[in-house]
Structure 1
């Protein structure tokens, strides 16, 4: 499987001629990320994970494109793209389904707490082909699952470095790459990733930074 990292939380997976895009948000290069996509998975409603206009345009341009997203997001997308409503599906935690030839399992249910005064929204994490796990804005560890490739939300308003390190140590995936990295400058990113790399290695995880548009086989 080919994994391409885009800016912030967006990744693109390619396998057997099929393309799956996760979290094409406003901080990401949504055009290239969505180009030729067969399916889109959205973890939650925040704009850095979902560029609604870009997804609606992709649905109009590609008659076979399907989208899975939490119910509130899916409802809003169906309203914005009524002609594609039947191709927009509700995603719930604890489910399994196949899309564009990829086997999907879902986890979580809620976005991590930012502050008690800020409402918590739905968040669904996706495990693709028992291999790549995108948790969205959460640090939910899939129970009883041997994740092979972990996408690590390296920094967010709702997290601290220790929590991120504990997440990596708990999942214990053989390899990990960063997502949710657009809010840090180079110094902050290097500082945080150094902790994840050093401590993650003690638990069998090889962490590597991926540049925007960089691809790797997983």
Structure 2
């Protein structure tokens, strides 16, 4: 009888539903300048990870780091996709990205069409790469949307800072990406903070709350930039990027959050319930 009762108890326990699994929060890790790794639920993406020119202001990408990113050495392994905001030398390396395509046969690349043209001109370009490269050609005020498995990608056409006096013809994209349902991130590259330039995207930005938005640090120190961030981006947390090697004293004193050290991390707030 005792054994029979034990069997009944074991069966009852087995019938109980498994406890709900609380996924680990998504994580963002600094690379250099505007480079960021985002990881969530086994998925991994990179923003602006390799570039050729530091303009004697920003951290260089040492050869060893560039090779690690290109070859997919940890922690740059298992990357699903790489996103490039624009084809400026402090955000983009044609040879570095071509090397990554060659070394990692499954990685996808999302870049402005202008950047694709530069990559095709690289001596190591292969026609076989075309299938894994998405050349984005949406205009300012337009949006291109892609599905990367279960990951939703939105590329919003927003001009580079200084437009229209400078960079008039430069393709520049703000990315908003649902890495998972609970890990939504945004990367602004060098986007203008002019509020009017975000008006065509107002409905899109208001529709879903973003966990972390990565913005050029000078937006955080400018009244107009802060107003645009607070009024438009619909983000839970904001992190400044594109920080010079000599961190501005004004930024240090501001109390704003920013990336300036290779490997520092931030958890991505869960906005699934919002």
Q: CA deviation at 1:41?
A: 0.7
Aligned to 2:107: 65
Q: Could you tell me how far apart the structure 1 residues matched to 2:88 and 2:251 are?
A: 22
Higher alpha-carbon Rg: 2
Shift of 1:214: 1.2
Aligned length: 203
1-side partners of 2:176 and 2:41: how far apart?
18
- Using the size of structure 2 for normalisation, the TM-score is 0.65
5 Å-filtered alignment, 1:29-178, equals 29-33=65-69, 35-36=76-77, 37-80=79-122, 81-82=125-126, 83-91=128-136, 92=138, 93-99=142-148, 101-113=150-162, 116=165, 119-129=168-178, 131-138=184-191, 139=193, 141=198, 142-144=201-203, 145=205, 146-155=209-218, 161-170=222-231, 171-178=233-240
Unaligned runs of 5+ in 2: 1-25, 52-59, 71-75, 269-274
Structure 1, unaligned runs of 5 or more = 198-207
Tell me if structure 2 keeps the 8 A contact 1:21–1:33: no
Contact in 2 for aligned 1:9/1:25 (Cα 8 Å): no
Q: Distance in 1 between matches of 2:157 and 2:245?
A: 23
Mapped to 2, the partners of 1:32 and 1:63 lie a distance apart of 16
- In 1, the alpha carbon distance for the partners of 2:106 and 2:81 equals 8
Which stretches of structure 1, 4 residues or longer, exceed 6 Å deviation after superposition?
none
> Is the Cα contact below 8 Å between 1:8 and 1:179 reproduced in 2?
yes
Matches within 5 A, 1:8-47: 8-26=33-51, 27-28=60-61, 29-33=65-69, 35-36=76-77, 37-47=79-89
TM-score, normalised via structure 1 length: 0.79
Alignment of 1:180 onto 2:242: yes
